[in-house]
Structure 1
Amino acid sequence: MDGLLPFELGIPHRIFGRPKDARGRHLYEVVTCSIRPPGPVETDADFAIHVANGPETLATADTVIVPASYELGPVFDEGVLTDELAAALAHIRPGTRLASICTGVYVLAAAGHLDGRPATTHWADAERFQRLFPRIKVDADVLFIDDGDVLTSAGVAAGIDLCLHMVRRDHGTAIANDVARRTVVPPHRDGGQAQYIHRPVPDPQQASTTTARAWALGRLHEPIQLRDMADQEAMSVRTFTRRFREEVGISPGQWLTQQRVERARHLLESTDLSVDQVARDAGFGTAQSMRQHLQAALGVTPTTYRRTFRIGGDGSGHHRDADAHA
């Protein structure tokens, strides 16, 4: 769409263009299309982009990603699609996975794909977005939301987090982590948008929670109490919890659970350890506890996750091919 942000348009190409299987074959085909016939599309920069594919390309997509635009017109002002945009979106097949980066969520919302569902967008737009689309459950504190067949991300670089998550969901942690390393970004960012909202700059002498997080990561297999983490920074539990939320965007308990889920995923994918042993090594204690946390975070059991993403066999660590279209 006109007014698109080149950086955000480039995110899907960079992230989905990297993954390959053991035989060097690309796991995704990435195709860019315009909402009108092939030709130039204006950006918010001092250059235009020539797009070789028109909206009919959307009919071939397994995944459609809508990047942000600063010229959404009635979509942004009134929450309704233009005739041109509605005609373009009509090419999308039922069952296609949909995703948005930043204000691209307005397009999905105006098209009715988010009614009654959770969604996020850039924190600066969240209140306005909620007023315009009151039927959507807006969460401005997270970097992205995965609601199955519809995924939304916060602003700008959160699109990287979303696309890496989609690669992880499609093909496993090992492949997603490899893409992250090659892109020189963390495979998983802690916290949410709360850490990026403007607040007074802290005193440089003010202690952080970095040491406590590093200490906890080295002991995920052990029981870790909030008091233990606070002691690493010589803070009271109350001060540590407040400082942790300011820096990470979530509570220490939520963060620990996230890290343990990631550890369990890695062990299930890359080792032959029993589910009980994985649960102990990841710090869940019991297989039942790990099963509950993985079910809540991923929607699958440990056994199903391992069967789907186990690295081995054909060496790919993935369970299906998918196409991503930006």
Structure 2
Amino acid sequence: MGGYRAALAALLVVAACGGNPFVPDPVDPTDPTDPTPSEDNENAVQDLRGFAYDGTTLSIDMAGVSSSGQFGTFVRRPSMDIPRHGTHPRYLAYEFQETNMTRSYLAYVAENQRETLLAVAAADGGQFNEHNGGGGWVRLTGYTRPTIASSPSPTPGPEAGTFSYYGAYAGVFVPGLADADGAPRPDPLHPQEPLGVRGQIQVNAQFTNTSSGDPEVVEGQIVNRQLFDRDGNQIISIDVSDGSGGFTTIDTTELQSLVLRETAISDNGTFLGTVEYAGTPDSEAGEYDGAFGGTGASDVAGVIWVNPIDGQDGIWEYGAFNLPRCDLAGASPICDPR
């Protein structure tokens, strides 16, 4: 990560235990190496109030009962890493639990080959009827929008206005499994461990000639979403309350695909939109937020916060992605041929 020392990102997060997210306009940090956020960045946070990352150590300032200090220092959990796509870096898993009586956190750090953007998602698995979770992104270098010609597009043609981005997706799933630490206390007091979600994500973006006045938009979808425990074992089913004191078993062999519904790209390359369940338009599973980075929007990164299972508003997922443009170095092999 080179000279990246610490950053407080433009964080868009959700309140503990659900509720409506407080989502102001996303902004860029004034200096990615300055650990002091601007006032705009301070206004853009809630549960996950800030993070610091030096390429090895991840520290997170999380609301609620999380750590004795302002920042909790997370440790690596390699068994939960998300595999790489081609030369696109894998997503790194981290965990934090101050004692075995307090909340258990899982976090993912999403980097890219050009070191233009960084994205983080984190949450605890739940304790005492609530959880804390959120995510954020930060630009590590400057950003320039693509220069788009006004001439007609060839068919087929090179990426010159309509761009695709593809790669891995990482999510933190809440609630998780009970923390079986063997401590001599009643099971309901044990904190729960969040689960990990692995998937693939494609993002398409339309940049236009600045003189045209046409809108610039972004959209995408997350597919092949699978659930894993802290040892890397796939979870194929979970039990959820049926509302009458019993439980219903839900098949999680492959979680429902999620759509990033088309939304506008702002002048500074940021965006904020709605997440829906695939095949169910206007279902509003949650929201997503992110930014393009690098020269000519070479990369895109962002975070999502959703109820990942339709009809289950007590289940949450906080995810992150960081993707290379399909026609540039670091692209997944699936980009060729397009």
Structure with the higher helix share, 1 or 2:
1
Q: By the TM > 0.5 criterion, same fold?
A: no
Structure with the higher strand share, 1 or 2:
2
Higher Cα Rg, which structure: 1
The TM-score with structure 1 as length reference comes to: 0.28
